[in-house]
Amino acid sequence: MRNFTSTLEPSGDDERPSRSRQRSTPTASATGGRFVVQRHRATALHYDFRLEIDGVLVSWAVPKGPSLDPADKHLAVHVEDHPLDYIDFEGTIPAGEYGGGDVIVWDTGTWSLHKGTNASTSLKKGDLHIEMFGHKLAGRFALVRRREAKKAPEQWLLIHARDDFSLDGWDIDDSPGSVLTGRTNDEVAQGLISPASDDEMAALADLPKSGGLWDLQGRQLKLSNLDKVLFSKRGRGKAVTKRDMIAYYVTIAPTMVPYLRNRPLNMHRFPDGVDKAGFWHKAVPDHAPAWIQRWHFDEAKSDKTEWYAVMDSVAAMAWAANFGVVEFHAWTSTIQHPRHPTWALIDLDPGTKSTFDDVLTLARLHRTALEHLQVTAQPKVTGQRGIQIWVPVQDGLTFDETRAWVEALSRAIGQIVPELVSWSWTKDDRLGLARLDYTQNAINKTLVAPYSLRAAAGAPASVPIEWDELDDAELAPDRWTIRDVAKRVAQTGDLFEHLLTIDQQLPSL
């Protein structure tokens, strides 16, 4: 009932078949396993109560949620089994999809069978007694099928036994947040992302240089070679290690992830440091954790990348940094509409003879043109030599349309300063002049994401700027580095943030 090209919900493609096709001998989950309770705001608020049994998550929708009060006998509607990788799904299911709404992991943990010897047998009988060991839920629970429930969807009752963990008058609304990230449903709906805690950052700092296991927002990551130098020092600064890079990306993730979420990622990796040649890595590796979001590009040819990683969390950013990803390049279109960009990109790419003053001249001319056209856009320095201008556009335009619009605008500006610009395709033919590169407006073409580091000494970053900062004498394309980006954002805020909610058509030129 779901379109997995439109929703980031786990599809369960890698999981075992449904219980009806499993062998009948008892499995490790015959008397226990994992559980998750998800707080799900769809058509109406309810709680999805899921138990791992025989390779799937057996599931009930509980309108009032589970309760620690033995007096509560709450309706639980038996629904379809879900794949095991759904156990830590947290996010937004798009409107129009089955179950559309926001989902958080309200509680998770393990359970064991309290009565009987086989959970599947108890399920068939309609009388399942378990003991739960969660962050919020603990003690003995019973799931009892109502006698009149003879047709699907079956109606059951979820009841807590009176034991050492029961609480009279307990109210589920007293603890609405996620046990993985601390987020509420409102925060998930708005896309906010919680930063790593002080304790989590301290744990990263305390890991030995060889690495080790790091618990981050409910995920466990295996980190390695933490003291390896990835960026040589610049000026009086210190060299930057892999540990430093991981710490940077989990710190900036709440600001950066909105530009990566729901978008396939092209990863520029430098596992041996930026002083050595890096390489592009598009396919999500087989060894990536199951909780890393994946997207299948159905249009990919047989010799092209089919499965892409999608960065949607602080932990995902930490995983990528440990994987040696220095630069994050997300598509300008989303996984829901891969052929319809949400950004039009203007890339002011300096030539070998171009000065930064030349780049600033081109950027100021674009500023004037965009103001005249009443188009909302924002520049950012690249962290290397150039400047990029990002223009939010209404979802529904094609790449042909955004590319043609950017080309027309840039060619008009190029006619004003022809001594600065070359339109030749190859660098050798440009005679060292700048290129106004409109060709990046195409599927699977990317520009470096806001706040991404760049592969250069000192770990410079690509940072959004105000339009009037183009007139700042101290502006440089690599002015901000891994050491001061967080301080910059704390002072100015995210200068691209307002672009995320703008839905604009491009005027005729």
pLDDT at 91: 84
The pLDDT of residue 25 is above 60: no
- Cβ proximity of 58 and 123 under 8 Å: yes
Name which residue leads in pLDDT, 191 or 320.
320
Report the alpha-carbon distance of residue 370 to residue 373 in Å, rounded: 5
pLDDT at 97: 67
pLDDT at 6: 40
Q: What residue ranges do the domains of the chain occupy?
A: 19-190, 198-329, 343-501
The pLDDT of residue 22 is above 90: no
The pLDDT of residue 20 is above 50: no
| The pair of three-digit structure tokens given for residue 494, joined into one six-digit string | 């995210």
What pLDDT band is residue 190 in, cutting at 50, 70 and 90? Answer: confident
**Percent of the chain's residues with pLDDT above 70:** 93
Report the alpha-carbon distance of residue 90 to residue 48 in Å, rounded: 12
Q: What is the rounded average pLDDT of the residues 435-442?
A: 92
| Closest to 105 in 3D by CA, of 196, 229, 201, 188 | 188
Amino acid in the structure at residue 370: L
- Confirm whether pTM is higher than 0.85: no
pLDDT at 218: 81
The pLDDT of residue 482 is above 70: yes
Tens of pLDDT, residue by residue over 360-389, are 999 999 999 999 999 999 999 999 999 999
Q: Which residues on adjacent β-strands are paired with residue 333?
A: 341
What number of other Cβ atoms are within 10 A of residue 189's Cβ? Answer: 16
Using DSSP's 3-state secondary structure scheme, residue 254 falls into helix
Instruction: Using alpha carbons only, give the angle 404, 478, 440 rounded to the nearest 5 degrees.
Output: 15
If residue 48 lies in a helix (H) or strand (E), which one and from where to where?
A: strand 45-53
Instruction: Using alpha carbons only, give the angle 332, 494, 106 rounded to the nearest 5 degrees.
Output: 80
pLDDT at 100: 77
234, exposed or middle or buried, with CB in 10 Å at 0-12, 13-18, 19+? middle
Tens of pLDDT, residue by residue over 321-366, are 999 999 999 999 999 899 999 999 999 999 999 999 999 999 999 9
If you search the block for the tokens 């799931």, which residue do you land on? 143
SS3 annotation, 174-241: HCCCCCCCCCCHHHHHHCCCCCCCHHHHHHHHHCCCCEEEEEECCEEEEEECCCCEEECCCCCCCCEE
SS3 annotation, 152-170: CCCEEEEEECCCCCCCCCC
Secondary structure tally for the chain: helices H, strands E: 8, 23
The pLDDT of residue 451 is above 90: yes
pLDDT at 427: 80
The pLDDT of residue 291 is above 70: yes
pLDDT at 99: 65
pLDDT at 150: 61
**Percent of the chain's residues with pLDDT above 90:** 74
Task: Give the mean pLDDT of the chain.
Answer: 90
The pLDDT of residue 135 is above 90: yes
pLDDT at 426: 81
What pLDDT band is residue 412 in, cutting at 50, 70 and 90? Answer: very high
The pLDDT of residue 26 is above 50: no
pLDDT at 395: 79
The pLDDT of residue 95 is above 80: no
Q: What is the rounded average pLDDT of the residues 192-199?
A: 88
DSSP 340: S
- Domain 343-501 maps to which CATH number in 1.10.10.10, 3.90.920.10, 3.30.830.10, 3.10.520.10? 3.90.920.10
Q: What is the rounded average pLDDT of the residues 72-99?
A: 84
Q: What is the rounded average pLDDT of the residues 163-176?
A: 94
- Cβ proximity of 93 and 101 under 8 Å: yes
pLDDT at 27: 41
Report the alpha-carbon distance of residue 257 to residue 319 in Å, rounded: 13
